[in-house]
Structure 1
Amino acid sequence: MFEELKDKVAVITGSAGGIGREISQKLANFNVVVVGIDNDKKRGLETKEIVEAGGHAAYYEPVDLSDESDIKRVFEIIQKNIGPVDILVNSAGVCRPMPFMKTTKEIWDKTIEINLTGAFLCIQQVINGMVERGYGKVVNISSRSGMIGSKGFASYSASKFGEIGLTQSVANEFAKNHINVNAICPGIVFTPMWEKQLDDYISLKGYNPDDMQAELVRKIPMDRLQTEEDIANAVLFLVSDMSKNITGQALMVTGGY
């Protein structure tokens, strides 16, 4: 199964994160050549080493996704030294939950820069090559917050709603070139990013820290939080031939929440 993925080159942004790391491992298990890009060099290299320990090809390049020139630099290195990019997964993201009137322009700008503008710039770096080859898969990791806005997530929701709009627009424009562009909208996944925002989230929502996870699970019809593997499985489906007639979609992976 998924033999068509053998030796394809996939760039995963945010490869140092929990979801990015799981996606890297999942694709590598099906003989995809994985290239992780992230600003966290320590964890980015750890992801590379984990994938290599499984006997698979993996690379890592540091990048600042808020810097257009750095993004161009990294993709030039990848395409020169590794090969044309067949698959792009925009998994990098930042989030600072806080009341709307406490959200500074600095926080707003940084969130939009990484979550939305970074995805836009990365797609621009690979799309021409995909057009030339008549093949390409782009998956943007948006969020349930990109479908349903909620209290305290103004900048994050705006970036993730924007990512879905970006997905739909690029999908429509390049469908004739046999390029599939889709988004995945995870629900709650406890990742390193979640751990960083936990105190802010608890304060914002008024949860008792000891009861928070149980409160979150109670909202989910399938009665469990999502895992990194749930998201990676959805990515695998969307980059495989099983989804070759699916484009411009935003797939909710939320357990029904």
Structure 2
Amino acid sequence: MDTEGRAEAERLLGIGEKLLQNRDLHGSRDFAILAQETDPLLEGSDQILAIVDVLLAAEKPLNNNHLDWYAILQLDRTCQDLDLIRKNYRRLAILLHPDKNLFSLADQAFKLVSDAWAVLSDPAQKPIYDNDIGSSSGSDKLPVRRSTHEPVSFWTACPYCYRLYEYPSVYEGCCLRCQNCERSFHGVLIPSLPPLVPGQDAYYCKWGFLPMGFVFGTDGNGPGPGPGPTPMLENGPEFGEAAPVAVSNGSATRKRGRPRKG
């Protein structure tokens, strides 16, 4: 383990924690992301990010001062998939439960997530809420989205096991959970996918295609030249119903990552 990198990550996370205590949500989020990128194995950054994302969503009420329960659960406002609603609620509830998350404001974020689930999972309350916020007229929003040519999905990578995922674009920048190693990570956009292996449903794994850079070592003897490209086989279900698609994973040794600027 890179002790210098771990110490720097802990310092950044400590700053993020203090900013969270002062309710500087944007500042806390920035430092939590830096800590996570400096040392992806450091615990706590995903918990701070979950708190901040929920509280920021609650600060943007909809018409008639309704809280945006969809944004709080990191869902699109047109979502009608109860399984997806349940999945997001469980993921956030695990990250935010006050018995496990000891950071400031975790209890407030947990209550918001619980309240959002209570409304969106109730077959009687949800239609009333949708009507009040105007989401029932979702067909009026579709031409606007098409005219702006916004991507419907994006690619990201788990920094722990290097597995690639395709998510709906609403999840970009959110705290996600890897279906392979089950760790939480920050959903950073990958501008382009790794090159395809000729004649195979696989991609070459190169660290430059990940949202953070990684330094490869040689048998624990310090930094050295990394291994050659590793073919990664495609697996997992087809993209649909807002479910992530696991495309590939790598086998490179994990070392300290540096925050990527700009």
- Quick check: TM above 0.5? no
Structure with the greater alpha carbon radius of gyration: 2
Query: Which structure has the higher relative contact order (CA within 8 Å, separation 6+)?
Result: 1
Q: TM-score, normalised by structure 1?
A: 0.26
Q: TM-score, normalised by structure 2?
A: 0.26
